[in-house]
Amino acid sequence: MRKVTTWMTPVLALACASCNNIYPVSGKVMYNGSPAAGATVFFIRQGGGSSAEAAIMSIVQEDGSFELVCGSLGKGAPPGNYDVLIEWKPVSGQSKGRPQHGADVLKGRYADRKHPLLHATVESRATHLPPFELTDEGPVQNR
Protein backbone atom coordinates (compact mmCIF):
# COMPACT_ATOMS: atom_id res chain seq x y z
CA MET A 1 0.00 0.00 0.00
CA ARG A 2 2.83 2.38 0.79
CA LYS A 3 4.28 2.03 -2.76
CA VAL A 4 0.95 2.98 -4.32
CA THR A 5 0.67 6.02 -2.05
CA THR A 6 4.25 7.06 -2.79
CA TRP A 7 3.78 7.30 -6.56
CA MET A 8 0.16 8.50 -6.41
CA THR A 9 0.92 11.56 -4.26
CA PRO A 10 2.89 13.45 -6.97
CA VAL A 11 0.30 12.53 -9.61
CA LEU A 12 -2.57 13.85 -7.49
CA ALA A 13 -0.62 16.99 -6.62
CA LEU A 14 -0.03 17.67 -10.31
CA ALA A 15 -3.69 17.11 -11.14
CA CYS A 16 -4.80 19.48 -8.38
CA ALA A 17 -2.26 22.12 -9.43
CA SER A 18 -3.64 22.15 -12.98
CA CYS A 19 -7.15 22.67 -11.62
CA ASN A 20 -6.12 25.99 -10.11
CA ASN A 21 -4.04 27.03 -13.11
CA ILE A 22 -6.45 29.55 -14.63
CA TYR A 23 -5.69 33.03 -15.90
CA PRO A 24 -7.98 36.02 -16.52
CA VAL A 25 -9.34 36.17 -20.08
CA SER A 26 -11.29 39.10 -21.51
CA GLY A 27 -12.36 40.36 -24.90
CA LYS A 28 -15.23 41.86 -26.89
CA VAL A 29 -17.91 40.53 -29.20
CA MET A 30 -19.26 42.85 -31.87
CA TYR A 31 -22.00 42.09 -34.42
CA ASN A 32 -22.12 44.24 -37.55
CA GLY A 33 -20.15 46.90 -35.65
CA SER A 34 -22.34 46.98 -32.53
CA PRO A 35 -21.90 45.23 -29.15
CA ALA A 36 -23.53 41.77 -29.02
CA ALA A 37 -24.92 42.46 -25.54
CA GLY A 38 -26.43 39.34 -23.98
CA ALA A 39 -24.67 36.85 -26.28
CA THR A 40 -23.13 33.78 -24.62
CA VAL A 41 -19.48 32.96 -25.34
CA PHE A 42 -18.25 29.37 -24.84
CA PHE A 43 -14.61 28.25 -24.93
CA ILE A 44 -14.11 24.58 -25.84
CA ARG A 45 -10.59 23.20 -25.42
CA GLN A 46 -9.25 21.98 -28.77
CA GLY A 47 -8.53 18.27 -28.65
CA GLY A 48 -10.52 18.03 -25.41
CA GLY A 49 -13.93 16.50 -25.75
CA SER A 50 -14.23 15.41 -22.13
CA SER A 51 -17.66 16.26 -20.78
CA ALA A 52 -16.05 16.31 -17.33
CA GLU A 53 -14.16 19.52 -18.13
CA ALA A 54 -15.45 22.65 -16.44
CA ALA A 55 -17.67 24.90 -18.54
CA ILE A 56 -15.74 27.98 -19.67
CA MET A 57 -18.11 30.74 -20.67
CA SER A 58 -19.27 34.32 -20.32
CA ILE A 59 -22.19 36.62 -21.07
CA VAL A 60 -21.40 39.65 -23.24
CA GLN A 61 -21.99 42.96 -21.45
CA GLU A 62 -23.73 46.09 -22.83
CA ASP A 63 -20.42 47.46 -24.19
CA GLY A 64 -19.58 44.15 -25.91
CA SER A 65 -16.99 43.09 -23.31
CA PHE A 66 -16.76 39.70 -21.64
CA GLU A 67 -14.67 37.98 -18.95
CA LEU A 68 -14.48 34.19 -18.97
CA VAL A 69 -15.51 32.10 -15.96
CA CYS A 70 -14.29 28.52 -15.54
CA GLY A 71 -17.09 26.74 -13.67
CA SER A 72 -16.66 26.79 -9.92
CA LEU A 73 -12.95 27.68 -10.28
CA GLY A 74 -13.75 31.35 -10.86
CA LYS A 75 -12.76 33.97 -13.42
CA GLY A 76 -10.40 32.83 -16.13
CA ALA A 77 -9.43 29.77 -18.16
CA PRO A 78 -6.53 27.29 -18.27
CA PRO A 79 -3.86 28.06 -20.89
CA GLY A 80 -4.33 26.42 -24.27
CA ASN A 81 -6.00 26.59 -27.66
CA TYR A 82 -9.78 26.85 -27.84
CA ASP A 83 -12.63 26.79 -30.29
CA VAL A 84 -14.95 29.68 -29.53
CA LEU A 85 -18.71 29.29 -29.89
CA ILE A 86 -21.12 32.21 -29.61
CA GLU A 87 -24.88 32.05 -29.32
CA TRP A 88 -27.12 35.10 -29.01
CA LYS A 89 -30.68 34.42 -27.91
CA PRO A 90 -32.19 37.66 -26.59
CA VAL A 91 -34.86 37.47 -23.91
CA SER A 92 -38.25 37.72 -25.61
CA GLY A 93 -40.50 37.64 -22.56
CA GLN A 94 -41.25 35.68 -19.40
CA SER A 95 -43.22 32.55 -18.62
CA LYS A 96 -43.84 31.31 -15.09
CA GLY A 97 -41.28 33.78 -13.76
CA ARG A 98 -38.51 32.55 -16.06
CA PRO A 99 -37.05 34.46 -18.99
CA GLN A 100 -37.97 33.08 -22.40
CA HIS A 101 -35.32 33.34 -25.08
CA GLY A 102 -35.95 33.98 -28.75
CA ALA A 103 -34.16 32.52 -31.74
CA ASP A 104 -30.39 32.82 -32.11
CA VAL A 105 -29.71 36.18 -33.81
CA LEU A 106 -26.60 34.56 -35.33
CA LYS A 107 -28.70 31.66 -36.74
CA GLY A 108 -26.32 29.06 -35.28
CA ARG A 109 -23.51 30.20 -37.58
CA TYR A 110 -21.09 30.74 -34.68
CA ALA A 111 -22.31 27.88 -32.47
CA ASP A 112 -21.45 24.82 -34.60
CA ARG A 113 -19.20 22.68 -32.41
CA LYS A 114 -18.19 20.46 -35.35
CA HIS A 115 -17.19 23.42 -37.57
CA PRO A 116 -16.20 26.33 -35.32
CA LEU A 117 -15.48 29.61 -37.09
CA LEU A 118 -13.69 31.26 -34.16
CA HIS A 119 -10.57 30.27 -32.23
CA ALA A 120 -8.50 31.74 -29.41
CA THR A 121 -5.35 31.03 -27.44
CA VAL A 122 -5.22 31.57 -23.67
CA GLU A 123 -1.74 32.41 -22.43
CA SER A 124 -0.18 31.53 -19.06
CA ARG A 125 -0.90 35.09 -17.97
CA ALA A 126 -3.80 37.53 -18.18
CA THR A 127 -5.06 37.47 -21.79
CA HIS A 128 -6.99 40.24 -23.52
CA LEU A 129 -8.23 38.86 -26.84
CA PRO A 130 -8.76 40.90 -30.01
CA PRO A 131 -12.46 41.59 -30.64
CA PHE A 132 -14.56 38.90 -32.27
CA GLU A 133 -16.13 40.80 -35.18
CA LEU A 134 -19.23 38.87 -36.27
CA THR A 135 -21.22 39.51 -39.44
CA ASP A 136 -24.00 37.79 -41.34
CA GLU A 137 -21.41 36.45 -43.80
CA GLY A 138 -18.93 35.13 -41.19
CA PRO A 139 -16.20 36.47 -38.93
CA VAL A 140 -14.19 39.51 -39.97
CA GLN A 141 -11.40 38.56 -37.56
CA ASN A 142 -11.16 35.29 -35.72
CA ARG A 143 -7.81 35.55 -33.88
Q: pLDDT by residue (tens digit) across 97-137?
A: 676 667 888 999 999 999 999 999 999 999 999 999 999 88
Q: Is residue 66 a part of any domain in this protein?
A: yes
Report, as an integer, the average pLDDT of 83-110.
81
| Count of structural domains within the chain | 1
Q: Is residue 68 a part of any domain in this protein?
A: yes
Q: Is residue 2 a part of any domain in this protein?
A: no
Give the model's confidence band at 143: pLDDT under 50 very low, under 70 low, under 90 confident, else very high: very low
Helix-then-strand count for the chain, H and E: 1, 12
pTM of the predicted protein model: 0.77
Q: Is residue 49 a part of any domain in this protein?
A: yes
Q: Is residue 143 a part of any domain in this protein?
A: no
pLDDT single digits (tens) 24-62: 999 999 999 999 999 999 999 998 755 556 689 999 999
CATH number of the domain to which 26 belongs? 2.60.40.10
Distance of alpha carbon 62 from alpha carbon 15, whole angstroms: 37
pLDDT of residue 4: 41
Q: Look up the domain containing 91 and give its range.
A: 22-134
Q: Is residue 77 a part of any domain in this protein?
A: yes
pLDDT of residue 138: 74
Report, as an integer, the average pLDDT of 79-104.
81
Contact between residue 46 and residue 80 where contact means Cβ atoms under 8 Å apart: yes
pLDDT of residue 95: 65
Residue 142 pLDDT > 80, yes or no?
no
Q: Is residue 10 a part of any domain in this protein?
A: no
pLDDT of residue 29: 97
Q: Is residue 89 a part of any domain in this protein?
A: yes
Residue-by-residue DSSP string for 62-126:
TTSEEE-EEGGG-B-B-SEEEEEEEE---EEEEETTEEEE---TTTTTT--TTS-SEEEEE-SS-
